[in-house]
Amino acid sequence: MTICVVGHSNPDTDSVTAAIAFAALLNAQGQTAKACMQIAADKLNPESTVVLKRFGLAAPETMMDAAGQKVALVDFSDIGQAPANITSAEVVAIVDHHKIGDITTNQPILFRAEPVGCTGTVLNKMFKDAGVAIPKDVAGGMLSAILSDTVNFKSPTCTPDDKAAVAELKKTAGVDDTDALFMEMLRAKSSIDGYAMKDLVFRDYKDFDMNGKKMGIGQLELAALDQVAGIRADLLKALEDVKKDGRHSVLFMLTDVVKEGTELIVLSDEPALIETAFGGKIENGCMWIPGMMSRKKQTVPPLQKACGC
């Protein structure tokens, strides 16, 4: 049976390119695998679309239901971020760089998770460990994912391993100027013109179960906060609709890449809990958090602690 390699829901560039890369590695090792994603190709976020086009990569197949499938997971291990019926699938491998989630298996599997900035960095090591050369187009996708996830090395999630992987992958991909590549991706990622509010909210969004509380955390990376000045009211309305769907809290990170900080929009049943988590005061539904760039390292952990996880 073909192994379907799939990343988390509302896939970002790491999730998309990691599925492509891990499928390529598995195929090179004699297994049969294909890259999949939990979204239709025409709904991919603009950054991922730019990356796939630049390096000539085909978009992974759409897979929304995992029932009866043999699957490998990349860039996540939480049931809440998995395709429907993941518990009815055979999970054969997980490659990730986040906290260990709640997906379980009935037998031992390949599980590789490392505290680095990007799944692409882990996969770069796996290709080397296996003695398999990374195809040029795949290397381009992995390179782009690392630059994106580490915000061009500005994120606190960035490690020396990520920088080393970029140095190696840029040669394989034939990319001389990684700063220019990052800016090309940032222009696409921060584009908001012509997008529905719901699409902006779910462009980079994840749900988490924190001690019985359903917490939604989305992020929009911007070159400047004034990019969203004209749509704040509509954005808030969209977030309110998301909150109504059984969530205790919805946090939306408006991350200013240049200023290196985040304006956190907060909708919560317990605003005081959010203030405790981040040590600030919510004013007009928002709080500015200097230095906050990473959902994984700077948003989720303090929120989990405040929730008693």
Q: What average pLDDT does range 171-195 have in this prediction?
A: 94
pLDDT at 48: 97
- Tally Cβ neighbours within 10 Å of residue 235: 19
Distance (Å) of CA 110 to CA 74, 131, 144, 191: 12, 17, 25, 38
The pLDDT tens digits for 38-92 are 999 989 999 999 999 999 999 999 999 999 999 999 999 999 999 999 999 999 9
Which domains, ranges and CATH numbers included, belong to the chain? Answer: 3-187 (3.90.1640.10), 197-306 (3.10.310.20)
Q: What average pLDDT does range 121-137 have in this prediction?
A: 98
pLDDT at 309: 84
For residue 130, which of 263, 238, 22 has the smallest C-alpha distance?
Answer: 22
The pLDDT tens digits for 206-246 are 999 999 999 999 999 998 899 999 999 999 999 999 999 99
pLDDT at 284: 93
Task: Give the pTM.
Answer: 0.84
pLDDT at 223: 86
At residue 185 the predicted structure's pLDDT band, cuts being 50, 70 and 90, is very high
Half-sphere exposure at residue 278, Cβ-oriented, CA atoms within 13 angstroms = 26
pLDDT at 195: 86
State yes or no: pLDDT of 194 exceeds 90.
no
Average model confidence (pLDDT) across the chain: 96
State yes or no: pLDDT of 193 exceeds 90.
no
Cβ atoms of 143 and 170 within 8 Å: the answer is yes
pLDDT at 40: 93
- Cα angle for residues 162, 24, 76 (degrees, 5° grid): 55
